[in-house]
Amino acid sequence: MKQYYVYIMSSKSRTLYTGITDDLIRRVYEHKNRLIDGFTKKYNITSLAYYEVTSDIQTAIQREKQIKGWVRRRKIALIETANAEWKDLSNGWYET
């Protein structure tokens, strides 16, 4: 069964980016290595702060839109429910 991820990335200064993907490991790698031009590259957003998993693409799209519509403090509260210390949840994913 295919999985979809709604995720929030953060910079060291806690600039936030919310996205959706069907391959979280690949997508986070792209953000970390600044492979795609755009917001995350410009603001050096490289830390995975939060993610959710669903098997339904429509649910993922709706959730991404919902989170993007929230005010910043609500996004921070969501992150801190699962990751109070703001650890990079992708630490160790790319070590050889």
Question: What does the alpha-carbon distance between residue 14 and residue 2 come to, in Å, rounded to a whole number?
Answer: 30
Q: What is the pLDDT of residues 71-93, one digit of tens each?
A: 999 999 999 999 999 999 999 99
- pTM summary value: 0.95
Q: What is the pLDDT of residues 24-48, one digit of tens each?
A: 999 999 999 999 999 999 999 999 9
Place of tokens 């519509």: 69
- Architecture of the 4-82 domain: 3-Layer(aba) Sandwich (3.40)
Question: What does the alpha-carbon distance between residue 1 and residue 83 come to, in Å, rounded to a whole number?
Answer: 27
